[in-house]
Chains A and B, each alone.
Chain A
Amino acid sequence: MIAIIGAGPAGLAAARAIALAGFAVTVIDAAQKPGGQYWRHRSTVDGYKATRSEKYFSTVMGNPLVTYINGAQVWSATRSEKSIYINYLQSGVEKRLTCTDLILTTGAYDRSLPFTGWDKPGSMTPGAAQALLKGHGVIAGKSIVISGTGPFLLPVAVGLAAGGAKVEGVFEANSPLRWLRSPLALLLNPEKALELLYYLKQFRRYSIPVRFGKAVTEFTGHSVRISDVNSDMTIKKTNVREIDCNVIATGWGFVPDITLGGILGCNQVVDKDGTVVFSVDNNQRSSIENIWIAGEATGIGGSDLALAEGHIAGLSVIGKRIPFSLNFSKFRKRLFARALQVSYPVNPGWKKWLNRQTLICRCEEVSCGQILDSVEELKAEDARTSKLFTRAGMGLCQGRICSRNVAEIIGESKELRVSDSERIAYSNRPIAAPISLGTLGDGISSK
């Protein structure tokens, strides 16, 4: 039995490849509808080439070979020699899915950087703003500023504007000239130029200003202050502009969600952008023979790459040869993903924006000063020890948002590079989702 965890682009592409070849597959996903974070569970999606998602949705929905388990929060998984057991919660009841082969397509979530006021109501990630819009049909706020780095800011801005919000501006920290460093990636991905043109047209249509080399460095709750930033992310000129707005969406790339693969013991490495990802072979197979991993969890690369990787994983699971065209497609999209890392780096200068009062862990309300004191006075040398002293990363999100920032703040204060083993340590968690003690103690109710 083949199972896929995740129904985003990678998971759907894998399911489609398996089902089209005549094999049965079970897709398990946390959301009510397929699409993942990117296609956001709507049957029609706005944006560039949005309709391509339909062929994936249609393969999964109403295909007798595909069992689709929705609204299922996988909280843990275990394995024996031949089988993998997936424990999930569905409407408050714990159930178990047993499979022989597993494809993990667990995706990614936005990376946040702390700044003064990022803990105020109205401050969110672009992903959260998009989720409010696409998932619930809600416009996140009337007047919105978008800041951070990366191409994902563009579709979010367009989506929010199309939904009726007033997008006051997109402030991209990096310079577009950085793209000149990746000529081969651009040459091999000419269709990306069309995507860019599409967004430029939309930006003109909704009169959204885009500015480069700038970042939001303070949010007051009703306005943002913009600073000019250097390429190393230090501030060149502070508070060059103040813009009234009630929502600020800031995103600094993505963090792969690696919890489940980590629980199952799949080998992890640190990617060039500092994220922890799984090491997989050419066919997306992980260090564990019957587990394949595709999409963002093997390296942030966007939906195009996720589709190719999911397709390859699906074919590999059922023992099919991977056509050259598919491998080449993955190669050039992987090249483009590398170019994204080169073009939109989050350089270390952001720590200079912070003052002692800036909150770093919002769940437990731990300030930058408390973290620095845990290093100076209590001799913490890594994120784990600082967490034990300050509680940074112990709250509801379990450090998903702050642990990398804590580690990098400590690293800088001690003038040490954050080691790969520490990055892997702070990126993993023993359970993938909260579960009530009652449900946990009752055990599996239907086998």
Chain B
Amino acid sequence: MQKNNPDAIVIGAGIVGACSALSLTNAGLKVMIIDRGSVASGTTGAGEGNILVSDKDPGPELTLALKSRDLWFELQEDVGDSFELEAKGGVVVARHDSSALMKLAEHQRAAGVTAERVNSAELHKLEPYLHPDLSEGVFYPQDAQCQPMLAAARIIQTVLARGGQLVSQARVTGFEISENTIKGVVTSRGTFHSPLVVNASGTWAGEIATLAGSQLPIAPRKGFILVTEPAPQYIFHKVYDSDYVANVASSDADLQTSTVVEGTRSGTILIGASRERIGFDGSMNFEIVRKLAAQATSLFPVLRDVQLLRVYRGFRPYAPDHLPVIGEDSLISGLWHSAGHEGAGIGLAPGSAALITDAILGRDSFMDAQAFSPQRFAGARL
């Protein structure tokens, strides 16, 4: 196929790839996006659109999340209000002992997060349908949500309008590399030359790194989401129990479930979140589905009579230390990675795009990205 060779190639048309492509385009580069499927056909198309600061401990990821959350609203100015971005706020409910949650909130406040401790009356004013026995929680007004597939599509549409290219249904089969420097990407739809390649292929980023003769320890962490029939508005924020924060950070390979419940504009209710490390096994597990339903109805008894319509699953890309990988490859110069955002890819995408663009152009950035560097895995046995 006839395509002009671009200044940069982004592999992956998910949210991380889309944001990276827009950021590079806005910096003046001609960008080509390559995807083995179509727009948002991987993990972006299987997520809830979480833009959260509430589930993160103080540290580099929280710094990135806070900046990224603000960048989402700037992005909306740039791309247009077309992907259901909404600062709906998060409510974390203490299910048993609240001390761990309150301690986390205190640390988060010190790091710049708005985290308001709420008593029983305030909690039930925020969420009137919450189980009456639940009496304590933390309100995070900065937590937001978007429709991630629409967001990726609208951002890519903007990239294309600004001179970018999209090559879909193109599976990467190899790279052209000379003297450890990237020269181009070989795909099932032809070879494209560029001195700059951003690997934003999410859960599959490790395979892409391997094709380039490097390595990246990104693995899938499977999750199910339950979708109900459209219901009256029972849920007003993103509501989750405090176990969620512990599970996100856990390195346990076994199944973990903790409740995340939220409404959507269409009236359907989304219920997550399970976490399992069983590779790319797409099979259905009804025991997990039952557990998620039981947890959600224990938070919101009113949901007992709401019908489950469908279930979908996705694979979160995670690194062993649960931090994203953002930076230049440790072996191949010109190959950059922005991947491994686990379940936070939507929230962290604009911030990650800013970091990688600044690093590529040698500009100062809003934070030190050392903690995200691929160098941290250099020499590790995979």
Chain A interface residues toward B at CB < 8 A: 76, 78, 87, 263, 364, 377-382, 384-385, 388-389, 391, 394, 396, 398, 429-431, 434-438, 440-443
Q: Is B11 interfacial (CB-CB < 8 Å)?
A: no
Answer yes or no: B290 CB below 8 A from chain A CBs.
yes
Asked whether B303 is an interface residue with its Cβ less than 8 Å from the other chain, the reply is: yes
Q: Is the CB of B284 within 8 A of A438?
A: no
- Whether the pair A437, B297 counts as a contact (CB closer than 8 A) is yes
Chain B residues in 8 Å Cβ range of A385:
38-41, 45, 149
User: What 0/1 pattern do residues 149 to 162 of B give for CB contact below 8 A with A?
Assistant: 11001101100000
Q: Is B308 positioned at the interface, with any CB of A under 8 Å from its CB?
A: yes
- Are B38 and A431 within 8 A (Cβ)? no
Q: Within the assembled complex, what's the spacing in Å between the Cα atoms of A394 and B264?
A: 13
Known contacts A396-B229, A430-B312: A437-B293 contact under CB 8 Å: yes
- B305 with A436: CB separation less than 8 A: yes
CA distance A430 to B308 in the complex (A): 11
Which chain B residue shows the least CB distance to A382? B38
* 3 closest cross-chain pairs (CB), A and B: A438-B304, A441-B294, A378-B153
Q: Contacts A379-B38, A434-B307 given; 11 further ones with Cβ under 8 A?
A: A384-B41, A384-B45, A385-B38, A429-B310, A431-B308, A431-B309, A435-B307, A437-B228, A438-B297, A438-B304, A441-B297
A438 nearest in chain B by CB position: B304
In Å, the complex CA distance between A438 and B306 comes to: 8
For the complex, give the distance between the alpha carbons of A434 and B304 in Å.
13
Contacts of B37 in A (CB 8 A): 381
Cross-interface CB contact of B284 among A378, A396, A430, cutoff 8 Å: A430
Indicate whether A430 sits within 8 Å of B311 (C-beta atoms), given known contacts A87-B286, A263-B284, A381-B38: yes
CB-CB < 8 A to B157: which residues of A? 377-379
For the complex, is B289 an interface residue (Cβ under 8 Å from A)? yes
Contact with A along B18-56 (1 / 0, CB 8 A): 000000000000000000011111000100000000000
- Contact between A388 and B293 (Cβ–Cβ < 8 Å)? no
Residues in B whose Cβ lies below 8 Å from that of A434: 229, 307-309
Per the bound structure, the CA–CA distance linking A438 and B297 in Å amounts to 7
Complex partner residue of A378 from B154, B290, B297, CB under 8 angstroms: B154
A residues within 8 A CB of B178?
A: none
Report the nearest A residue to B283, measured CB to CB.
A265
Contact of A435 among B271, B294, B297, B308 (CB under 8 A): B308
Pair B290/A396 contact, Cβ less than 8 Å: no
Query: With A378-B154, A389-B153, A434-B307 known to touch, is A443 a contact of B38 (CB < 8 Å)?
Result: no
Q: Nearest Cβ distance between residue A259 and chain B, in whole angstroms? A: 11
B169 within 8 A of A: yes
The answer on a CB contact under 8 Å between B266 and A364 is yes
Contact partners of B295 in chain A: CB under 8 A: 441
A87 CA to B305 CA in the complex, in Å? 18
Determine how close the nearest CB of chain A comes to the CB of B319; give it in whole angstroms: 27
Distance in angstroms between the alpha carbons of A17 and B157 in the assembled complex: 60
Contacts of B308 in A (CB 8 A): 431, 434-437, 440
Q: Tell me the minimal C-beta distance from A288 to chain B in angstroms.
A: 14
Chain A hits for B94, CB < 8 A: none
* CA A394 to CA B226, docked complex, whole Å: 13
Closest A residue to B166 by beta carbon equals A379
Find A388's partner among B40, B166, B289 (CB 8 Å cutoff): B40
B296 within 8 Å of A (CB atoms): yes
- Decide yes or no: A440 and B310 within 8 Å by CB, A385-B38, A385-B41, A385-B45 being known contacts: no
Are B290 and A443 neighbours in the complex by a CB distance under 8 Å?
Answer: yes
Once A382-B38, A388-B45, A396-B309 are accepted as A-B contacts, the answer to whether A437 and B149 lie under 8 Å apart by CB is: no
A78-B286 contact given A437-B296, A442-B294, CB 8 Å threshold: yes
**18 A-B residue pairs with CB within 8 Å:** A364-B266, A378-B157, A379-B39, A380-B39, A381-B168, A388-B40, A388-B45, A436-B305, A436-B307, A437-B228, A437-B293, A437-B305, A437-B306, A437-B308, A440-B290, A441-B293, A441-B296, A441-B304
B290 and A441 contacting across the interface, CB-CB below 8 Å? yes
A431 / chain B contacts, CB cutoff of 8 Å: 308-311
